[in-house]
Amino acid sequence: MGDQVKLNAAGTEYDYPVLKGSVGPDVIDIRKLYAQTGKFTYDPGFTSTASCESALTYIDGDEGVLLHRGYPIGQLAENSSFMETSYLLLNGELPNAAELATFENTITRHTMLHEQLANFYRGFRRDAHPMAIMCGVVGALSAFYHDSTDISDPEHRKISSHRLIAKMPTIAAAAYKYSVGQPFVYPDNKLSYTGNFLRMTFGVPAEEYEVIPAVEKAMDRIFILHADHEQNASTSTVRLAGSSGANPFACIAAGIACLWGPAHGGANEAALNMLKEIGTPDKIQHYIDRAKDKNDPFRLMGFGHRVYKNYDPRATVMQKTVREVFDALKVTDPLFETALRLEEIALSDPYFAEKKLFPNVDFYSGIILSAIGFPTTMFTALFALARTVGWVAQWNEMISDPGQKIGRPRQLYTGPTQRDYVAIGQR
Ligand code: SDX
C-alpha cells in the first residue's frame, strides 16, 4: 500500500492515496473526496492544486529551476534553438540532425496564411492592439482547416500543432505590419524560423532585408525562454478549453486572450511602460514605496511570481542577452540602467525579500525587444508566438490521455437560498 493521508470528516476517517511524481511535491489524490464526504476542497487561484499529470516542464520555485523534458532552461538557451526545443517539447526527446531537419522543413512549409485571412486584418482599426488581432485571427483559423478537425486522430492533432507553430510568426508579423500601414511580407523558406519572422516583421518589399545573426540568435533565445511553463494561467485555459473537445485553433485563441493580462504575459509590456514612467534612477524609491503600499494598486511589473520564490532562471538569461543585443546593435538604453538599479534597490528592501519577490521573465525582455525595434504593444504577441508550442504540447498531452475528462470545477455557494418569485406589483 503506498503512502496515504487520513482525513477525519464529521467523525469518519477517510484515507486518500499520495501519488509521487519523478521529482517535486507529491499530490493527494482526492478524486473520491466529494463522493465520500459530500465536501469540496476550496482553492481559488489554485495555489495548492495540481490540475493534471504532465511530463513536459518541471519548475522548482524555491531553487529557481526550470526543466523542459528534464533539460535545464539555461542549457537549452545556451545550446539549443527554438525549433529544436519545440521538437523536444512535442516529442519528449532531443532530435538527431535528420529529425531536426525534417521537423524544420515541415514547419517551414506551413508558414504561409490562407490569402482570405488577410481580410480579417482589414476589419481592425490600424491602432488595434496586436493581441486583439492575434485573438481574432488565430480564432478565425478554426474556420479554415476542415481536413484536420478530428482531435482523436493523432495525425490530425499533429498537423494542427504544426500549422499553429508555423503560422504564429506570420500572424504576429502581419499584425505589426498592419499597425504601421506597411504591406504584409510573405515567408521566405530559405530563412530560419526566427530569421523568417524578423524579415516578415521588419523587411519591406522595396529592399533586401538582411538578418543580423546576433539579433536572430537573441530573438531565438527569447522564444526558447517563453516556450512553456507548466500549468500557468494561459496553459490552464488552453487545457480547460481543450477538455470539452473544442477546435484546437479556438483553444489557442483562448490561451492568447488569457496571456494578454498584465498579471501574466501582458507584464512585459507593462514592465517597460513602468520603467519609462519611472524614467531615471532617482525616481525609483517613490515607485518602490508605492509597490509596498497596501492601499496603492501599483505593483512592480516584471516582479514576483506564483511559483518562483527565487530568481526566475529565465530572467538571468534575459539580463545577459540585453548586453549581447546592445553590443551587436551598438546601442544602449538608459532604461537598462534604471532596471538594474530598480532590481538592486528592490532586492535589498525587506518587503521584497520577505515576500520573495524577484524579477521574472518579463522584467528585462522589453528592453531587448525595444532595442531590436519592436513597439511595446508587440511584446505580448511575441510571448504568445513562442508559448504556442507549449500550449499545443500541453493540449496534445491532455487530449491523448485516455483518462482525460472535461474540466468542471465546483464552488462554495454564498448566494441566496431558494425563495419564491414576487410579482412586480408586490416589490
Ligand atoms: C508570467 O504562472 C506562470 O508561470 C506565468 C509565467 C509563464 O511563463 O507563463 O511565468 C509568465 O505571468 C510572469 C509573471 C508576470 N506578472 C507580473 O510581473 C505582474 C506583477 N506580479 C504580480 O502581479 C504577482 O507577483 C503575480 C501575479 C505574478 C503572482 O501573484 P500571486 O502568486 O497571486 O502572489 P500575490 O498576488 O498573492 O502576492 C503575494 C504578496 C502580496 O502581498 P500580501 O497580500 O501577501 O501582503 O506579494 C505582493 C502582493 O501584494 N506582490 C507584489 C508584487 N507581486 C506580489 N508587491 C509588489 N510588486 C509586485 N510585483
Residue 126 sits in which domain range? 71-409
Is there a single domain that holds both residue 276 and residue 370?
yes
Dist. CA 189 → ligand 1 center (Å)? 40
* pLDDT on residue 146: 84
Is there a single domain that holds both residue 49 and residue 180?
no
Question: Which atom of ligand 1 is nearest to 303's Cα?
Answer: 60
The active-site residue out of 162, 226, 305, 312 is 305
How do residues 294-320 score in pLDDT, each as one tens digit?
999 999 999 999 999 999 999 999 999
Report the nearest-CA residue for atom 44 of ligand 1: 294
Q: Is 135 within a domain?
A: yes
Q: Is 419 within a domain?
A: no
- Reading the block at residue 407, the C-alpha cell is 474540466
User: Does the structure show a pLDDT above 80 at 398?
Assistant: yes
Is there a single domain that holds both residue 52 and residue 79?
no
How do residues 120-170 score in pLDDT, each as one tens digit?
999 999 999 999 999 999 999 999 988 888 999 999 999 999 999 999 999
Is there a single domain that holds both residue 189 and residue 298?
yes
* pLDDT on residue 359: 94
- Average of pLDDT values for 278-285? 94
How do residues 186-213 score in pLDDT, each as one tens digit?
999 999 999 999 999 999 999 999 999 9
Q: Is 423 within a domain?
A: no
Q: Is 20 within a domain?
A: yes
Is there a single domain that holds both residue 54 and residue 97?
no
Q: Is 66 within a domain?
A: no
Is 327 designated active site? no
Is there a single domain that holds both residue 121 and residue 12?
no
Q: Classify residue 294 as exposed, middle or buried by CB count within 10 Å of its CB (0-12, 13-18, 19+).
A: exposed
Is there a single domain that holds both residue 40 and residue 175?
no
Q: For the chain, what is the domain count?
A: 2
What lines the ligand 1 site, CB under 6 Å?
229, 232, 263-265, 267, 291, 299-307, 355, 357, 360-362
Dist. CA 282 → ligand 1 center (Å)? 25
CA distance 8 to 15: 9
Q: Is 420 within a domain?
A: no
Question: Which atom of ligand 1 is nearest to 271's Cα?
Answer: 18
- State pTM to two decimals: 0.96
Is there a single domain that holds both residue 9 and residue 75?
no
- Reading the block at residue 195, the C-alpha cell is 530569421
* pLDDT on residue 303: 94
How do residues 23-42 score in pLDDT, each as one tens digit?
999 999 999 999 999 999 99
Alpha helix ranges (H) inside 260-312: 267-278, 284-292
Is there a single domain that holds both residue 294 and residue 359?
yes
How do residues 343-387 score in pLDDT, each as one tens digit?
999 999 999 999 999 999 999 999 999 999 999 999 999 999 999
* pLDDT on residue 149: 84
| pLDDT band, very low/low/confident/very high, at 264 (cuts 50, 70, 90) | very high
Dist. CA 233 → ligand 1 center (Å)? 12
Q: Listing from the earlier edge strand, what are the strands of the sheet with 65-68?
A: 57-60, 65-68, 71-72
Dist. CA 168 → ligand 1 center (Å)? 27
* pLDDT on residue 296: 95
Is there a single domain that holds both residue 52 and residue 82?
no
Is there a single domain that holds both residue 167 and residue 83?
yes
Report the nearest-CA residue for atom 36 of ligand 1: 306
* pLDDT on residue 148: 86
R_g (Cα) of the chain, nearest Å: 23
Pocket residue to mutate for ligand 1, from 303, 314, 364, most atoms within 8 A of Cβ: 303
* pLDDT on residue 2: 79
Mean pLDDT estimate for the chain: 96
Dist. CA 366 → ligand 1 center (Å)? 18
Q: Classify residue 370 as exposed, middle or buried by CB count within 10 Å of its CB (0-12, 13-18, 19+).
A: buried
The active-site residue out of 220, 228, 312, 362 is 362
| CATH code of 218's domain | 1.10.580.10
Q: At residue 29, what is the residue type? A: D
Minimal CA–CA distance to 54: which of 223, 225, 239?
Answer: 239
Is there a single domain that holds both residue 48 and residue 91?
no
Q: Is 221 within a domain?
A: yes
Is 305 designated active site? yes
Q: Is 416 within a domain?
A: no
Quick check: helix, strand or coil at residue 60?
A: strand
| CATH code of 49's domain | 2.20.28.60
How do residues 321-354 score in pLDDT, each as one tens digit?
999 999 999 998 999 999 999 999 999 999 999 9
